[in-house]
Homo-oligomer: A and B are copies of this chain.
Amino acid sequence: MLPPFPMLSDISPALLHTLYLVAIVAEAMTAALSAGRRDMDWMGVCIIACVTALGGGSLRDVLLGHYPLTWVIHPEYLWMTGGAAILTALIAPVMRRLRSVFLLADALGLVAFTVIGCQVAQLMQLPITVVLISGMITGCAGGVLRDVLCNEVPLLFRKELYASVSVVTGALYLGGQSLGLSANAAVPVALAAGLALRLLALRFNWQMPKFVYRDDWD
């Protein structure tokens, strides 16, 4: 069967890889800013940046037993993320004015990481729930590790739609395939829809309902 978007589907692997590189650099830069808010030294900035950018994929691979990890095969990613973090520290005053660029790059990273994580689990022929979870871990866990290392309640659980965007992106990617799209053709559809959802959530401050609970159990 002819895929509906042949041109899009052909460029999907290259598109995803490019977005992946953009995303790890962007995640490293926002992580460096987080580390700077905690007055960390430059070594700490680099470590937090690498953990944030590559930690989601690493956690996924460890949980799925998918060895070797990405940065073991591609150690250049460690240099890219560490270098991006140092650059961020050097030109921090400029960074301060680039908030919307960061948010866009981070949103791109979220959806690209998610689709890549889904693909890894698909290649391992895991059940569909695990494919979705694999996408979510890849997309979101790096930021959770960053917040844990910076001793904060993870933002993920408290702010605008984020993990939900990852779930929607993964569901669209899988749903597209079950509707007859090829895996490659489903990629740009899921990426575009997920990105739009995240940007709309940021613009209009869409949040999941919160569960606020108090008791006197302690």
Interface residues of A (CB under 8 A from B): 32-33, 35-45, 47-48, 58, 62-65, 67-69, 71-72, 75-76, 78-79, 89, 92, 96, 99, 126-130, 133, 144, 148-154, 156-158, 163-164, 167, 207-215, 217
Given A64-B72, A151-B153, A41 and B158 contact (CB-CB distance below 8 Å): yes
Cβ of A160 to closest chain B Cβ, rounded Å: 9
A136 CA to B31 CA in the complex, in Å? 20
Additional pairs, 17, CB under 8 Å, beyond known A41-B158, A48-B157: A36-B212, A40-B158, A43-B164, A43-B208, A44-B156, A44-B157, A47-B157, A63-B69, A64-B72, A71-B133, A72-B126, A89-B213, A96-B215, A99-B217, A144-B149, A150-B153, A151-B151
Nearest to A127 among chain B residues (CB) is: B75
Contact of A37 with B213 at beta-carbon distance under 8 Å, contacts A43-B157, A48-B157 already known = yes
Query: CB distance B163 to A47 under 8 Å?
Result: yes
Cross-chain pairs A/B with CB under 8 angstroms, 14 sampled: A35-B211, A39-B212, A41-B158, A42-B209, A42-B210, A43-B157, A43-B164, A44-B156, A58-B63, A65-B68, A75-B130, A79-B129, A149-B154, A151-B152
Q: How many copies does the complex hold?
A: 3
Cα A128 to Cα B167 in complex, Å, equals 37
Chain B residues with Cβ below 8 Å from A69 are 63-65
Report whether A153 and B38 are in contact in the complex, using a CB–CB cutoff of 8 Å: yes
Chain B: minimal CB distance from A205 (Å): 12
- When distances are taken between beta carbons in the complex, the residues of chain B under 8 Å from A154 are 44, 149
Q: Which of B48, B163, B207, B211 contacts A36 (CB 8 A)?
A: B211
Query: How far is B40's CA from A144's CA once the two chains are assembled, in angstroms?
Result: 14
CB distance from A63 to the nearest CB of B (A): 6
Point out the residues of chain B lying under 8 angstroms from A211, CB to CB: 32, 35-36, 39-42, 45, 89, 92
Q: In the complex the two chains form, is A43's CB within 8 Å of B129's CB?
A: no
Shortest CB-to-CB span from A218 to chain B, Å, is: 9
